[in-house]
Chains A and B, each alone.
Chain A
Amino acid sequence: MTSVLGVLHLIAQQSENLVDSTFSNFWVVLIIKAAVVLVFFLVAPLLVGYAEHKVLAHMQSRLGPMYAGRFHGWAQLVADGVKFVQKEDVVPAAADRWVFSLAPAVALVPYIALFVVIPFSDSIWAENLDVGIFFVLAMASVSVIGVLMAGWSSANKFSLIGALRAAAQLISYELPIVLAAAAIVMQAGTMSLLGIVNAQDSYWYILTQPVGFFIFVVASLAELTRPPFDMPIADSEIIFGAYTEYTGLKFAFFLLSEYGGIVALSAIAAVLYLGGFRGPILPPPIWMAIKIGALSFFVIWLRATYPRLREDQLQRFSWLALIPLALANIMVVAVLKVAF
């Protein structure tokens, strides 16, 4: 009897050592982290996409998908994915083939990379960069290069107009985002996302910087080219903007990057203003998921409610309203930071 227990003890010890040695190996950990981030990136946008189908439908008094997967069309986006895979991969004759094929990846990868620094609890994060918020904002703006590449290489005037609109939009809305985030960094005293979340342990920053939250959310919408700021893909004017010539998987990548972008910027807004994973009773990752979900719902809600702005209105709104507001916000925060 004792010998059996001894053997079991030995086995347990051995396996513990195995687990320890495995998880201290740099490359294994790296691969596991990359896989987790990738899986999260592939699942969360599908959930948001499905939610968009359903929420949009019910806000228009419809039902939305009901057949795929039998129960309320839960597998609709899976079915869409299968459909995209089956489609012919068309490259226009006049297109710049390499740039055309590379563009979807350039649009998609930054959003995947962005998830690396998002903390889901004190211990669940892939990487805690000291310059986290800087990394996030830099990555989010790389994506538009993919759109610009797509528009330019398509050799299509609608694509080009869409791409240039996207670029102009990014330039005018990147500024308010950075200014709003700078105010948060000032108040938190750190650029690490984990540090910013931990700085909000007594109150959320939305309470101290509601104006900043407003600026951040509006500018994020514009950066994602989501309605009411969807001029770059305005389907009634320029077909589908930079994505006009794309089919099949490449098109699906662009869509994925849009929904991935919603999840990413919702997560960042949650970290900066809503206390990230902090919340009572429920475990931290659940709180993070709830906050991301609520912000994503808000993004979809806005799409169902507002018509598209005109291109000049968009620019006017950014330069004449959001940027001055963001500058004023940063000044007020700086003064208060020094005063208290």
Chain B
Amino acid sequence: MATEIESNGPKPGPASPKKSGVGTGLLKGLLVTLKTAMRPSITEQYPDEMPDLPPRTRGVIALKEANCTVCYKCSRECPDWCIYIDAHKETHEPASGGRARSVKVLDRFAIDYALCMYCGICVEACPFDALFWSPEFEYAEYDLQGMIHEKERLEEWTYKVLPPPDLEVGAEPPQEPAPAAAAPGPVPIAAAPTAPPAPAAAATPQPTAEPALEPAPATAAPAAAAHVDVEPDQETYDRVLAEQLAQGKDRRVADGQAKRAAMLAARKKAQEG
């Protein structure tokens, strides 16, 4: 069967290309379905096992509040007006005289995911890298009001933002200076003093792939009452990272999953303690 089909392929010889035996097309069809049946199927059994989503998946939009300058660009660009921003202006008197500086302070930043159509224009429009896509998608609610994520919750989503994929082979190098030089420190998770000795060298062989997406509790606004502000659990981070890498997962995916697990573990610990 196989040889008959192979002989049917395009040949450079003088034989006319249309020449093929009766029924070779039918046999080819059978072979295609049989080959497909032999391959593992592509179904991911979602509720039982988490899907392995690419880092650019449009799951949820995360807000890194420290980067937000309250420019309102996102809410104005939003096609269905699902971003709510409240802010006020504060005047800071300079210590050494001169004109008083005015700063905008973010009071409320909320995205109504019941309205959001996941176009990503806000992420594109943000001039200061305060909005990010995260592949996280499990935030369905029974109550419509629950779909409005306030800034504390949006901040939590940043823990699950995956670093961008590596550039393709042969792509132009990035125009910006390498973040390794500019960033305060290429530490994988929060570089807060309370964290145990950071596995910087071990966990980040490529510091360039780690922009400042990590939670920055030091700069975060005072947490709301319901929001538990915790440090990611380093032990869990290391363990999950090792597990994921052992499974042959991509580095950035493994890192993101480890961060997520570390946050969950830390929050659980905080609630218990």
Contacts and interface: CB of A to CB of B under 8 A. Distances in A.
Given A58-B41, A61-B42, A306-B29, A301 B36 contact: no
B246 interface: no
B33 interface: yes
Contacts of A61: 36, 39, 41-43
Contacts, number: 34
Nearest to B27: A305
B45 A305 contact: no
Contacts of A66: 45
Query: Is chain A's interface secondary structure helix, strand, loop, or mixed overall?
Result: helix
A63 B32 CA distance: 17
B26 interface: yes
B30 interface: yes
A60 B34 CA distance: 10
A252 interface: no
B35 to A, nearest CB: 9
Interface residues of A, number: 14
A301 B33 contact: yes
B70 to A, nearest CB: 48
Nearest to B43: A63
Contacts of B50: none
29 contacts: A57-B41, A58-B36, A58-B37, A59-B33, A59-B34, A59-B37, A60-B36, A61-B36, A61-B39, A61-B41, A61-B42, A61-B43, A62-B41, A62-B42, A63-B43, A63-B45, A66-B45, A301-B30, A301-B33, A301-B34, A302-B30, A304-B33, A304-B37, A305-B29, A305-B30, A305-B32, A305-B33, A306-B26, A306-B29
A200 B29 CA distance: 32
A55 B41 contact: no
B28 to A, nearest CB: 10
- Rank and list the top 6 A-B pairs by shortest CB-CB distance, nearest first: A59-B33, A58-B37, A63-B43, A59-B37, A305-B33, A305-B29
B43 A55 contact: no
Contacts of B34: 59, 301
A323 B135 CA distance: 60
Interface residues of B, number: 13
Query: Is chain B's interface secondary structure helix, strand, loop, or mixed overall?
Result: helix
A246 to B, nearest CB: 30
A328 B33 CA distance: 33
Interface string B211-245: 00000000000000000000000000000000000
A293 B98 CA distance: 91
Contacts of A304: 33, 37
A150 B41 CA distance: 39
Interface string B21-62: 000001001101110110101110100000000000000000
Interface string B139-153: 000000000000000
A19 B269 CA distance: 72
Given A55-B37, A59-B36, A305-B29, 8 more contacts: A60-B36, A61-B41, A62-B43, A63-B45, A66-B45, A305-B32, A305-B33, A306-B26
Contacts of B39: 61
Contacts of A62: 41-43
A301 B32 CA distance: 11
Interface in A197-233: none
A62 B37 CA distance: 9
Interface in A297-321: 301-302, 304-306
B166 to A, nearest CB: 28
B143 to A, nearest CB: 29
B43 to A, nearest CB: 4
Contacts of B26: 306
A317 to B, nearest CB: 13
Nearest to B45: A66
B82 to A, nearest CB: 35
Contacts of B32: 305
A57 B39 CA distance: 12
Contacts of B43: 61-63
